[in-house]
Amino acid sequence: MYRKYILSIIMILFMCSACLSAQMNSNDISDRISQMEKELQALKAASSGQNMKITGESKTNETSPAKTSTPWNLNTKQSETSFSSVTQPISTQSQPDTAKLQLAKESPITPVSNEPKPKGFSLWSNLDVQFYGYIKLDASYDTSMTSAGNYNIYVNSETLNPDDDAFNMTANQTRLGFKINGPEKDGFKTSGLIEFDFYGNYATENKAKFQMRHAYMKMNWADGFEILAGQTSDVISPLVPTTLNYTVLWGAGNIGYRRPQIRLTKTWTGEDKNFVKFEAAVARTIGTDKATSGAPYAETGMDSGYPTAQSRLSMSFPLLKYKPTTIGFSGHLGREEYDTQTDGHNKKFESWSANFDLTQPINKWFTIKGEYYNGQNVGTYFGGILQSINTTTLKEIAAQGGWIAASLGPWDNCNFNVGFGVDDVERGDVNTGSKIQNSALFGNFIYSINSNTQIGFELSQWDTNYKDGEDADSTRAQLSFIYKF
């Protein structure tokens, strides 16, 4: 009410001032009236802004924080991370109070102010955007040189430098992500995920760059139908062993990576968490940039003119009493085109795989899982010890392999994991000096100091055999520090 009185007093003063200035000419009167109108407009705008600010604050205070959470797992082909978020209404007139934003964690932290702090990390969006990830430092020692140093895929040939040990330390596996939960209405829901780490190309070891891992959107219907569009893990061979080593037995029996795709999924759910799921995707064919016989540069997957088809049928059913058993059958079919001559001649190469995966929980502290594959031209899926085409004989390289791993625990905040993987290449498909077999045996324990902080140690033995060459082996000891958020 006091604003109305102030405005009335100002009007009276202006009118008195106009009467006392009766001797002014008409131009002066017009100027004074114009000035009075501008001042009145400024006062009205200030009063309106104050009301809007008060209204916006009251609405914000009336909003209750929303909390959500999902399971977190260090090594998954589609990352599942624990987090919570606080969502607030969006106002076009006000900006977020960044002092009230707090990173999600269960352990107590020093407050920024005396006000109670909600759990979660509130982002400025009209959707529920949840920030998650972890910081990871890896320090490792290898008794022989491996590829690629910071992580193991295979042991380099020891023909020139036998027992050439190496030490590496990196934080490149540090991972950041955003999970976007869209609106849900009439049995339809949208969502999305963006995730990256720091294993992109870099100038030196302390100048890492971002690497996109996942970037996709989902559309889900209540009847179990789903459409995914974007980059994420392959449909085939979706499991991974729990390792501290970044590459989770890639090149040693575990195939499947990430690539852009459009995926359709249909799930039929039964009783006791039993289900049947069918997934089918068309994905970008990722090939190699290395042409042969001096031919022009060409990316062989793009040059084929076709996407790659992937599919998987999985079933969950009661086998043991503890939890359902899950088995899956998957495969892919694609094609690459190599420009073999400078005059435009080319040759097409088929890429395919047939795969089996199994997850078998035994009890609350013991789970077994594993995969097997058979295929050819699977180097870009981390099969065939990363070998796809013999560019000398112009022939696809066939390979088979698999892995098995067991997770034990937790006991007193400790989890233990052991496993073995092997990749075996058809000898007649590769040249002398090429890799023909690669295997890895690992064991690790991960100790949880609290819900966010972990320390892990892993010991692994790697053996790589070369055609008509000297075999190579390396023992790797790795220490990891992990802080989840």
> Across-strand partners of 369?
359, 405
Q: Please say if the pLDDT value at position 233 is more than 80.
A: yes
The beta strand positions in 87-185, using DSSP E, are: 128-142, 146-148, 152-155, 166-170, 175-185
The residue to which tokens 């959707």 are assigned: 127
CA-to-CA separations, 420 to 45, 175, 183, 299, 364, in angstroms, rounded: 72, 26, 43, 34, 22
Dist CA 112 CA 355 (whole Å): 52
Instruction: Please tell me what DSSP assigns to residue 145.
Output: -
pLDDT band at residue 342 using 50, 70 and 90 as cut-offs: confident
Q: How does pLDDT run across 418-441, given as a tens digit for each residue?
A: 999 999 999 999 999 999 999 999
Q: Dihedral of CA 30/31/32/33: which sign?
A: positive
DSSP designation for 321: S
Q: ω into residue 148 within 30 of 0, thus cis? A: yes
Query: How do residues 163-176 score in pLDDT, each as one tens digit?
Result: 899 999 999 999 99
Measured at the CA of 365, the angle between CA 364 and CA 366, to 5 degrees, comes to: 105
Distance of alpha carbon 484 from alpha carbon 455, whole angstroms: 11
Contacts of 315 (CB under 8 A, 6+ apart): 275, 276, 277, 326, 327, 328
For the stretch 275-316, pLDDT in tens is 999 999 999 999 887 655 555 667 889 988 999 999 999 999
Residue scoring higher pLDDT (218 or 41):
218
| Model confidence at 219: pLDDT above 50 | yes
Count other C-beta atoms under 10 Å from residue 212's C-beta: 12
Spatial separation of the C-alpha atoms in residues 480 and 447, rounded to whole Å: 10
Q: How far is CA 234 from CA 29, 76, 301, 329, in A?
A: 79, 12, 16, 13
Burial 231-240 (b: 16+ CB within 10 A, else e): bbbbbbbbbb
- Residue 394 belongs to what H/E stretch? none
- Token couple for 87: 């969502």
The DSSP bridge partners found for residue 386 are: none
Flag whether pLDDT at 27 surpasses 80.
Answer: no
Helical packing angle, 26-62 and 2-20, nearest 10°: 170
pLDDT digits (tens, 9 = 90+) for 32-65: 566 766 666 665 555 554 444 434 443 333 333 3
Residue 96 is predicted with a pLDDT of 34
pTM over the 0.85 mark = no
Distances (CA, A) of 360 to 321, 367, 414: 11, 6, 21
- Rounded CA-CA distance 78/234 in Å is 9
The C-alpha R_g of the chain, in whole angstroms, comes to 31
Instruction: Check residue 320 and report its DSSP letter.
Output: S
Q: What tokens were used for 246?
A: 């970044």
Residue among 435, 381, 441 at smallest CA distance from 417 = 441
- Asked if residues 148 and 165 have their Cβ atoms less than 8 Å apart, the reply is no
* Per-residue pLDDT reduced to its tens digit, 75-126: 335 433 333 333 333 333 333 333 332 323 333 333 334 444 445 555 577 8
Which residue stretches of 349-416 are H helix?
none
Q: How far is CA 123 from CA 42, 103, 470, in A?
A: 34, 11, 56
DSSP string, 60-83: HHHPPP-------BSS-SS-B---
% of the chain at pLDDT higher than 90: 61
What domains sit in the chain, N to C, each tagged with a CATH number? 128-484 (2.40.160.10)
Contacts of 277 (CB under 8 A, 6+ apart): 265, 266, 267, 268, 312, 313, 314, 315
